[in-house]
Amino acid sequence: MSESNSDKALFDRIFGKELSKAVRRSTLLYLVNAVGYFLIGRALIFFFPSSLSGLEETVLVAYFSTIASYAVIIYFATRSRHYSGLGVHLNILGFLGLSGGGAFFAFGSIGFLSAAYWLGQSHRIGGMRCVRDNGHVVAFGQDSFVCTSCSRLVKIGLDLPRRWICTGIGFVLAGISLYFSASAVPMIASLAYVILNVPLVLVFDGAMLLFVPLYVQRTFFGGGYVRLPPEASEPRPA
């Protein structure tokens, strides 16, 4: 096997492992959110019978359970490594998670959106590019990816492109605007609070889109910067 083929095999192995890990983590978060909501809802109905209507409880449990089941199916599809059309499903799961309104859904949605982004990057001519400075992303050791320009470790499932940072800001501003609009106009209030606290969901999702890529990756999941040898400044030819 030539050196370039060996590098590609290593790159594909790391990518498959990181993608599967990211989807697995997000799927577990979706399952926890769905089960947790059901248990909390049952407890609220038991102790406070007037806290939730039966219809609201049924609709939300069915909705969250459907999202979690969908995530499980896509996780097993990821493990099979047949990636055709997988990016579309990962993006859909990401948006569904953002609509859920729970902390685990919001965190898991970032994992799905990030996995979808990097899956698309893996098919890009010229290789994957860093979300921070567009530098080349190459294999680092046997288990990681690194940007050859900024020397930052890349985390599939946590790193998002800048457009999602801007989206997070938009969500926060939209949530704040809707909150004050709902306070001033009763009709908007009735629409915004039919099932979920929409302004709160927008602000929370936006804050997660801002906070997770910027801080959580580096602080809790082993992200950061590494020292690269000079010959790693440019990727080897595929």
Q: What does the pLDDT look like over 29-86, one tens digit per residue? A: 999 988 887 776 655 554 444 545 566 677 788 888 999 999 999 998 887 766 668 8
Comparing C-alpha atoms, which of 88, 64, 65, 66 is closest to residue 77?
88
CA 133 to chain CA centroid, Å, is: 21
User: Structural domain boundaries of the chain?
Assistant: 3-233
Q: What is the chain's mean pLDDT, rounded?
A: 77
Tell me the per-residue pLDDT of 78-109, one tens digit each, with 9 for 90 and over.
Answer: 877 666 688 999 999 999 998 877 778 888 99
* High-pLDDT (> 70) share of the chain, %: 71
Note the pLDDT of residue 56: 67
Tell me the per-residue pLDDT of 104-155, one tens digit each, with 9 for 90 and over.
Answer: 888 899 999 999 999 988 888 878 888 888 888 888 888 888 888 888 888 8
Start-to-end C-alpha separation, the chain: 13
| DSSP assigned state of 135 | -
Q: pLDDT band at residue 182, thresholds of 50, 70 and 90?
A: low
Note the pLDDT of residue 195: 42
